[in-house]
Amino acid sequence: MTSSLRVLGIDPGLTRCGVGIVDVDRSRRGTLVHVGVIRSAPDAEIGDRLAIVAAGIREVIAHHRPDAVAVERVFAQQNTHTVMGTAQASGVALLIAAESGLPAATHTPSEVKAAVTGYGAADKRQVQTMIARILRLDALPQPADAADALAIALCHAWRRGGPAASGVSAMTPAQRAWADAEKRVARTYVRTTP
């Protein structure tokens, strides 16, 4: 087993696609590797915008060689236009992970917030503050899309069996509560499904 897991977290979007890479060691300590935002002009053609996002993600993967990719799961909101762009960028990210031979997963915004702050409804500032603390940064990661990408990467490393020292839980208390809730829902679904 390697001594650390390198995860690329992606906060998908067309105008701003956050990308963040962290290394998580056996004791679950995270270290910043890279953080940035891939930008495309809102008035550009959709195909061109998706190509910019794809090229940016490919460049980050080629340069930093992550072990896994984690993407924020698209959720329903009032603005259909925003949801469509986010879904398209998410699809591009998952496709590139598959083309690169990297395992990929999606995580909901509330799951990510609970993993890094202990509270699934934390606001952007709370997430930025905790990411700065967890990664021992001198300043809050900016913009919020970049902080979200780092949070997604950490959530994935912690939830998906990132390296853990023998006898040390691989999950925080908030993550264990989330996993227990998921199991209860799964058991209920299995019992009620014909």
11 in catalytic set: yes
Report the distance separating Cα 128 and Cα 152, nearest Å: 12
Q: Given the residues 11, 23, 111, 148, select the one marked as catalytic.
A: 11
- Whether residue 68 contacts residue 7, with contact meaning beta carbons closer than 8 Å, is answered with yes
End-to-end CA distance of the chain: 41
Q: Given the residues 25, 43, 59, 72, select the one marked as catalytic.
A: 72
145 in catalytic set: yes
Report the distance separating Cα 184 and Cα 154, nearest Å: 24
The tokens for 166 are 């023998």
Which among 52, 109, 113, 54 has a CA at the least distance from the CA of 83? 109
Q: Given the residues 23, 111, 145, 148, select the one marked as catalytic.
A: 145
- Whether residue 55 contacts residue 33, with contact meaning beta carbons closer than 8 Å, is answered with no
Report the distance separating Cα 102 and Cα 70, nearest Å: 10
72 in catalytic set: yes
Catalytic residue set: 11, 72, 145
